[in-house]
Amino acid sequence: MNAKNILAHIWDYTALTFGIVIYCLSWTSFLIPNGITSGGGTGLCTIVYFASNGTIPVSVSFFVLNAILLVLGFMALGKVFGVKTIYAIILSTLLFDLFPKFDWVVTFDDKLLIAIVGGIVEALGIGIVLMRGGSTGGTDIAAMIVNKYWPVSPGKVYLFSDIFIIASVLLVPGKTLEDMIYGYVVMVTFSFMVDFVLLGQKSSVQVLIFSSRYKEIADSITKNMHRGVTAFHSLGWYSQNEGKVLLVIVRQHQLHDVVGMIKNIDNKAFVSVSSASGVYGEGFDEMKTGLKLKKKDQKNGDLSDENKS
């Protein structure tokens, strides 16, 4: 690795660490001390903490839960979890154990305000983690496992698991319907704000790359990013030099990695990025037009006609 790559990795892990610190503070300083839970794996660990009257710390249940999910994930999915995800889980476990010892608690007279601010802070931390290619595990891993074996989108897994986890707070002695509502307030605030931080994690961008080293860049993107690349013939009008312009469509959160990859190969490359309002096809969104259903119905109708004849 050259010096530029080393600095890029240092910056990535610095930003990742900063995001994890903010994420953990949102729970240890805002939500947990004020008796509020939310969705996800951390929300489940918080409910265990409340149910055990603090006997089982969040750090312990968080580590155990993610260790189990990682093992199941490796068994079901193979080696798909990056070093950043494992780093994020380990660091989060340590911070969930460390931060409560400093008694950094933020309180307001209005508990609803605590829930909203806590959700915003949590979204900011998770947004930074996701932008750097990391994950704090939990329902992220569970969603990947479920999606492999059943035709259920990860978004639905997140939604239903969060609804169930937050509702289960009613099983904790002393917790009321009001506590469940505060949990849903955190969930909605978090969902809205994390999309705002990421500028839409599921949104896509179209990247045009102008470089004399287009072949190396195209090979690197297809090999490392597993994204398709289209090369167009080009002619520089001023220089009259012929070459290729590369067209790549990636998710918004992958843009950082793509640009970094391009600059490592050719730091003089010209890159144009524009948002894509809708991208349909393999690796992106499914075009839902009802055509499959119509064809299926038509086929069934044809079979019925044949049977009648």
Dig out the tokens for 140 from the structure.
């992220």
Global pTM?
A: 0.66
What is the spatial distance between Cα 170 and Cα 44, in angstroms, rounded to a whole number?
12
CA distances from 283 to 72, 113, 159, 225, 292 (A): 24, 39, 22, 11, 19
Number of helices followed by number of strands (H, E) in the chain: 11, 4
Q: How many residues does the chain have?
A: 309
| Tokens 């729970």 belong to residue | 27
pLDDT in tens, the chain (309 residues): 577 778 888 988 999 999 999 999 999 999 999 999 999 999 999 999 999 999 999 999 999 999 998 888 888 777 656 788 889 999 999 999 999 999 899 988 899 999 999 999 999 998 888 878 778 888 878 877 787 777 776 667 788 899 999 999 999 999 999 999 999 999 999 888 877 776 555 567 889 999 999 999 999 999 888 888 999 999 888 888 888 999 998 877 678 888 888 989 998 899 998 876 555 555 555 554 444 444 444 444 544 444 444
